[in-house]
Copies of this chain bind each other. A is one copy, B any other.
């Protein structure tokens, strides 16, 4: 294997900024509310991020290196890894979880066991398609460091690694996300504000013909509805062969842009959606929550294209599923199904906004062979929204 010199950027989570408006309109922490775009009727959490669910941490490793003509296996490099840790020591304190493919042209490893057991016991890693094996290997390394009896006296972990295709900008054949990168992203994981856009696994992604990548949003229910938080993080690489379908807050933004921003013949289509909540949901209820993300994605214009890996995983931190329990049974708190609708609404809204936030935070990028993807211009977007009565 050729040697590799990676520019490793550990984007440490920046400290929360003190703002008049709580959410910025630009930069990696850009949020739709910062631009006056309010999706739905529920309020976002403190960071408008998946980390608003207590204990959830996110870390990124970003690789941006080289320019010009593609040398397969060498570069240019536009890729990365994003890690989501449901809670500290998720191996011993598992979270109920469920995974669901809206359209399964993609990979999210480990989900056979998630859906059989009803729980998640490992972190969730996002990366590019051809690096899945290496990142999977890194998760194993990281787990063995923490739990040295894995595979000896302890059970074995089945990593959850999900991919999108960044090959329009990135030398994907180089598989530039290594096992060590997976470890680094996990080590970098932190709570608080989550940097978004063209970093981590989102580095080389595009969405609806604009630069995409990582986006996140959250909703907090009223105390009447339980006060639960729902946080969503996406790696938005979907709908990217065409701009026309893009809808923001009901406005046909993609059609309005038309050809005024050049659209490259992108090859990529997928979106990974991670939902976290502290609502006390059972696995089958989390399956229902996972399905609701499709409704949020639909409101951004997707038809869930054949080439798209639209893969969803949802987990709840409310209950602790023990590893090797002392007792045969444990008590779980369960949200009665007749109270679940606000959680569904929060999921739909947070998913819709997370995609928009990815578009707002991402910056224009040029990659291999001069391929270029433009960021969504904020000012022009606001003009269009205004024209349509927002």
Copies in the complex: 4
Contact of A156 among B102, B140, B172, B333 (CB under 8 A): B172
The answer to whether B104 touches A116 (Cβ under 8 A) is yes
**Which B residues are in CB contact (< 8 Å) with A302?**
295
The answer to whether A102 touches B291 (Cβ under 8 A) is yes
**Which B residues are in CB contact (< 8 Å) with A103?**
116, 288, 291
Q: Which of A241-270 contact B (CB under 8 A)?
A: 244, 247, 250-252
**Docked pose: A5 CA to B43 CA in angstroms:** 53
The answer to whether A107 touches B113 (Cβ under 8 A) is yes
Closest CB in chain B relative to A76 CB, distance in Å: 13
Q: Which of A273-319 contact B (CB under 8 A)?
A: 280, 282-285, 288, 291-292, 294-299, 302-307, 309, 311
**Docked pose: A65 CA to B103 CA in angstroms:** 44
Chain A contact patch, size range: 35 or more
**Which B residues are in CB contact (< 8 Å) with A305?**
341, 344
**Which B residues are in CB contact (< 8 Å) with A136?**
132-133, 136
With A334-B329, A348-B298 already in contact, the answer to whether A112 and B116 are too (CB < 8 A) is: no
Q: Does A37 contact B (CB under 8 A)?
A: no
The answer to whether B130 touches A133 (Cβ under 8 A) is no
Nearest B-chain residue to A156, judged by Cβ: B129
Contact of A325 among B152, B156, B179, B336 (CB under 8 A): B336
Please report whether the interface of chain A is mostly helix, strand, loop or mixed according to DSSP. mixed
**Docked pose: A228 CA to B118 CA in angstroms:** 22
* A interface, CB within 8 angstroms of B: 41, 70, 72, 101-113, 115-118, 129-130, 132-140, 144, 148, 150-152, 155-156, 158-159, 165, 167, 172-173, 175, 179, 226, 244, 247, 250-252, 280, 282-285, 288, 291-292, 294-299, 302-307, 309, 311, 321-322, 324-325, 327-341, 344-345, 347-348, 387-389
